Structure formats: C-alpha cells, structure tokens
Structure 1
C-alpha cells in the first residue's frame, strides 16, 4: 500500500475539511496535538493543531498533519494525482481545487487525456487532475 502523507503549516484541519467537501472524502481520524501522549506536550498555541489525520477518498487513503512549528517546508517536487473518469466531474474538481490557489496548467484536452490540469490549492498542496483517454 502506498499513501501520500502531506504536511501543512498549521492549516491541516481546514484543508481536510475542504477536501472532504470538494473531493467527497471522509475524515476517518483526526488527532489534535493536545490529545497525544502526555510526554509529547505541544508548544503553546499549537494545542489544537493536527498531530495526525486520515481521510478516505474513493477507497484511497490520504494522511496528513501540521508540521511542528519551524519545520514546515513549502511542498515541491511532487503533486497529488487525482484520476477521474468523468470529464465534467474532473474539470469541476480541478476548478474547486484551484479556487483560491493557482493554476499551473489550465484544465484542458491533451494528447494523453480528455482533460488534464495542474494547480496548487489554497493550502499550498500541488495537484494534478486527469480524465484519461479510453485505454490509458
């Protein structure tokens, strides 16, 4: 099993609630920093940040947490890839993910897909949304 694990800069819960709404996911587990082991006390102001979260999206698992203070790095060198068979649904989800973020490659037909686009969402996570051609 291979699952992406994303780190956020204090906005993991907001991101997961957004993905739950936009991608039809279901948050299965959300552990706040102040709910962890007694010997792992969070820094002041960080008590309600997310220590670990798990979401199911169409049978796939996405996990994440808020990076500890001072340890967040802007995501780079990867994208979360979302494959959707229905073109209208793929374009709609792409637009929702890009809303408040940035489109790196507008959603459109390519030589390998009915529709493909790349964006960074409002939380800083890079996404690729693909509606593959038949047989791809």
Structure 2
C-alpha cells in the first residue's frame, strides 16, 4: 500500500454523529470502533465513545475521526481546514450543498479571482471546509 495523507478529526462526544453525516455527504463505507470494544478506557462513561472511525468514500477519499477522552483537553478549533478540490462541478457542488446546509458559509461558492469556483464554510460540527472547483464558470 502506498502512503496517503488522511484528515483525522477530533470531537468531544459527537464523532459518531459527525461521521454518519459525512457518510451522507460523501457516501462510502463507514467503520466505527468504540472505547469499550478495545478496552481503551477504564471510565464507564466513555464506553460508547468513538475510539477510531474511518470513512472510505468513492474517488479515494478517506476521513478519520475519534472522540477525545474526558481526561484530555478539547477545544473545537479553526486551526485546521479540510479542502476538497477537483473539476467535477456537480459532485463538488453536491458536497458543498450538504456540508454548508446546517453550517455557516464564510465565503460563498462562486467564481474566484483565479478563475475557479471557491467557497468556505464551517459545518454543523465546527469543521472548516474549503471547496475549489477547477475551471468552473461559477
């Protein structure tokens, strides 16, 4: 297997909900493992938390996530963004519509000065998404 870079998102208690949402956006197969399944926490309150999840979606997309254990500090952050780019206008606009529907649009998806269509939004889980559609007429 070749090396690949995968975004790995951290949540406090809603990784399962977030990953199920992302599966509804991107399709694909979702695998979820809990802390209890791997005896990864002695805290019974963490039994159903997501220890690891991976969404393998069509086109080679992969997204991973987990819940942050109660003993670790967590802050929903804007220090990372996930970027989707390509030339399939319909597919990328479909992703955009779903990701932004219950979130906040910070830059509308429209023609950018460099000629592509570009938009930024923060989804309902606090994750920032950038969408760039190459050569799109906007």
Class of the TM-score when normalised by the shorter of the 2 chains = 0.7 to 0.9
Q: 1:122 to 1:78 in 2, by over 3 A?
A: same
Report the equivalent of 1:13. Answer: 16
Distance 1:49 1:95 in 2: 29
1:30 and 2:32 matched = yes
Give the structure with the higher percent helix: 2
SS in 2 for 1:127: strand
1:113 Cα offset (Å): 4.4
8 Å Cα contact 1:87-1:115 kept in structure 2: no
In structure 2, what is the equivalent of residue 124 of structure 1?
Answer: 126
Where 1:119 maps in the other structure, the secondary structure is strand
Alignment gaps of 5+ in structure 2: none
- Residues 21-100 of structure 1 mapped to structure 2, 5 A cutoff: 21-27=24-30, 29-37=31-39, 40-57=40-57, 58-69=59-70, 70-100=72-102
CA contact (8 A) 1:112 1:133 kept: no
Instruction: Give unpaired runs (5+ residues) of structure 1.
Output: none
Aligned alpha-carbon RMSD (Å):
1.8
